[in-house]
Structure 1
Amino acid sequence: MSKIAFLFAGQGSQTPGMGQDFYRNSDVFRQVMDSCGKLSDLDVCSLSFSGPAAKLNETAVAQPCLAAVELGLVRMLSSAGIRPSVVAGLSLGEYAALTCAGAIREEDLVSIAARRGRLMQEALPAGTGSMMAVLSNRLEDIRLACQAAGKQNEICEIANFNSPSQYVLSGTARGLSIAGKHLEESGIRRCLPLKVSGPFHSPLLKTASLELDEILKEYPLQAPDIPVVFNTTACSETCRDGNRVRELLVRQLYSPVLFDQSLDTMLQAGVDTFIEIGPGHVLSRLVQKKNRDVRVFGLETMEDYERIRKELHV
């Protein structure tokens, strides 16, 4: 029997039209999206299906819309008898993963995602900082570039360990500029600025994390029913209680996302089938680059859904 992991996409994967095929063809998905719309002050259906892109890309909008779509996809898979042995998510995706695992109530997910998105969007003045992808396997040189920024009293940290050749830096605008120059001088030229509203997963969000802690205390979090591989530890945890879940989610806001290490944890645990929940194929590609012997599925269309059902014999 397959050991299945659900991987939940994070912010940046959103795109106008996401979920629309499922909404047209699945009663289960449609019910979830309509319910999420009623529980939110945003029209998640219209924004997810039609955008416009500029609006959907706003952190305060992208996060609840992605959460709603991912919840709908989980419910579809569950209704078909497809359930994971373990779950993980990239940044925002961790909230959907925890909902899938029973640690966050389904009716609370979009509300939490919306409040987290607003908090992150408003945490710092516009232009304070940003993020930059670095495509290189020279980790030591990337660390030295961050240190170069630190020596000039600027913040620049590794925010995402996506793969041995893909990292994301986060920090002040000047810190990223210093690091970028250092990387270029060392021969690393594939540095791509990301279209995000702030320096997420960096110490600059430490103050905002205190507010997130207070927000999460308003919701009845509990220990997950199945193991969750958390961003900040890359360890498979069932957690002793909801307080541990909240602690890890708060820490995630200002700490690196250890996604590559999380994949190692799942592979070592015997996972042989990965299903990416959400738009895009970012996480699927990372899995395929790491291990070509496992099965990897994306889930963007009804055709994808039917293929998953067929190949998993459900």
Structure 2
Amino acid sequence: MTRKTAVVICPGRGTYNATELGSLSRHFPDPALLARFDAMRQAEGQQSLTALDGAAKFSLALHSRGDTASGLIFAASYGDFLSIDRDVVEVVAVTGNSMGWYSALACAGAVPPEDGFRIANTMGRLMQQALIGGQTVYPVVGDDWVPDPARKSTLLALVDEISWRSGHALALSIDLGGLLVIAGNDAGLKAFESAVPPLQGRFPMRLGNHAAFHTALQAPVAAQGRDLLPDSLFTTPRLPKIDGRGQVWWPGAQTPGALRDYTLDHQVVQPYDFTAAIRSAAREFAPDLFVITGPGTTLGGAVAQALIQTSWRGMASKADFQRLQAEAPILISMGLPEQRGPVTQPRGSK
């Protein structure tokens, strides 16, 4: 059997929701590793992942908190990465969206899984404790997903103009395919939300329990993270890893210290360009597949939109993507059972 090459993509915050409740018990392939994650949380006085995932009912107030969601999302992502059948799929690179960078660290072998969990859990806890600012989401493409550079430029100019107003903090947080994630303080977010027209009955959409990730407002959190997470956690990755600038971290080409500096400084306080990460993944590695780990299924649209903006395989619209996906899938979302099955090994198999 000829293996298909794949870039693996780890999702960020907001992807463990009600439909994902119980996903660790259903899919996590290494009970001993999950028990170690649980022990690490319990040592910090936190509820275990097993208890959170096994709750009778999903609680937005609990499960979406940074100090809860980060651990759940990391574990689900890393468990899915371990579940990929390497006789079917050859992983050629990894990347992630926002906190998915922490998951991708472990997937790429730049940190052991326990240290990757420590990083994700620590940063989630610090951000929840500080909860500086917030985020709102707004689309830059229409329902057809055709790129609209003029619309994007106009929105970014608006963000810049608001940021200069007295008492207003506002900046691009994540360039997410066909969406812009904008972050700032309440005054800045309200100014943006009142200046743009409502779209699709849900945008602009303020995100609950989200801080102003990837902006200068997070500088205190980044400093705390650097105090708590030493150089010794990091090593050079075993797999190429694509960051939130679109830069590839090649095995053996960078120092662990440089990787830590990016992870706990630039990645926290500067915009995260997920679109650039997908563009680099496509152009540098030309994979047969883009495999998105769980939890959730919400990142698929952003990946497809980023590929359209890259003109990957001649795609220029949502219809083009749907046609290619129907002919021979190029995007696999492990959160969907019908897509998960063909790329995973049976649970418990070696």
TM-score normalised per structure 2: 0.79
What residue in structure 2 maps to residue 34 of structure 1?
Answer: 35
Q: Deviations over 1:210-249 (max 9, x none)?
A: 1112222164201101111001x21111251211111111
Instruction: From the superposition, tell whether residues 227 and 79 of structure 1 become closer, same or farther in structure 2 (CA, over 3 Å).
Output: closer
For residues 154-173 of structure 1, what are the structure 2 equivalents within 5 Å? 154-163=168-177, 165-173=178-186
Corresponding residue of 1:277:
293
| Deviation digits for residues 74-132 of structure 1 (CA, Å, limit 9, x no counterpart) | 222267664410000111111111101111111222222221111111225xxx52111
Distance 1:78 1:38, change over 3 A: farther
Q: Work out which of the residue numbers 15, 34, 46 in structure 1 matches 2:17.
A: 15
Moved more, 96-105 or 210-219: 210-219
- Name the aligned partner's letter for residue 133 of structure 2: G
The answer to whether the aligner puts 1:308 opposite 2:343 as a matched pair is yes
Specify every segment of 5 or more residues in structure 2 that has no aligned partner in the other structure, as ranges: 141-147, 313-320, 346-350
2:95 equivalent in structure 1: 88
How far did residue 21 of structure 1 move?
5.1
Instruction: Give yes or no for the alignment of 1:295 onto 2:310.
Output: no
1:193 aligns with 2:218: no
Give the AA of the match of 1:44.
L
**Higher alpha-carbon deviation: 169-178 or 135-144:** 135-144
Equivalent residue number for residue 51 of structure 2: 46
Aligned AA (2:49): V
* C-alpha displacement of 1:29: 4.1
1:114 matched residue in structure 2: 121
Which AA in structure 2 matches 1:18?
Answer: E
Maintained 8 Å contact 1:22/1:302:
no
Contact in 1 for aligned 2:16/2:64 (Cα 8 Å): yes
Q: Give ranges in structure 1 of 5+ residues lacking alignment.
A: none
Q: 2:7 aligns with which of 5, 13, 38?
A: 5
Q: Secondary structure at the match of 1:87?
A: strand
Going from structure 1 to structure 2, the CA distance change for 1:19 and 1:109 (only over 3 Å counts) comes to farther
Alpha-carbon contact 1:161-1:257 (below 8 Å) kept: yes
Q: Distance in 1 between matches of 2:19 and 2:49?
A: 12
Letter paired with 1:246: R
The correspondence for 1:255, drawn from 270, 276, 281, is 270
Report how far residue 159 of structure 1 moved: 0.6
The answer as to whether partners of 1:131 and 1:196 remain within 8 angstroms in 2 is no
| 1:97–1:228 Cα contact (<8 Å) kept | yes
Residues 42-74 of structure 1 deviation map (CA, whole Å, 9 limit, x = unaligned): 310221242433211111110011111222112
User: Corresponding residue for 2:72?
Assistant: 65
Asked if residue 216 in structure 1 is aligned to residue 229 in structure 2, the reply is yes
Alignment partner, residue 99 of structure 1:
106
Q: Normalising by structure 1, what TM-score?
A: 0.87
Distance 1:6 1:178, change over 3 A: same
The CA distance in 2 between the partners of 1:149 and 1:22, in whole Å, is 42
Q: Cα 1:29–1:305, aligned 2, differ >3 Å: closer, same or farther?
A: farther
* Secondary structure in 2 matching 1:199: coil
Specify whether residues 79 and 143 from structure 1 end up closer, same or farther in structure 2 by C-alpha distance, changes over 3 A only: closer
What residue number does 2:130 align with?
Answer: 123
Aligned length: 303
* Percent identical: 19
Q: CA deviation at 1:148?
A: 2.5
* Structure 2 SS opposite 1:224: coil
Equivalent position amino acid for 1:119 in 2: L
Question: Which amino acid in structure 2 is aligned with residue 103 of structure 1?
Answer: A
CA RMSD of aligned residues (A): 2.6
88-97 vs 67-76, greater mean Cα deviation: 67-76
Q: Secondary structure at the match of 1:271?
A: coil
**Using the alignment, how far apart are the partners of 2:281 and 2:130 within structure 1?**
33
Q: Give the secondary-structure state (helix, strand or coil) at the position aligned to 2:172.
A: strand
Q: Secondary structure at the match of 1:285?
A: helix
Q: Report the secondary structure of 1:40's partner residue.
A: helix
CA distance in 1, matches of 2:87, 2:21: 18
Name whichever of 74-83 and 170-179 sits farther off: 74-83
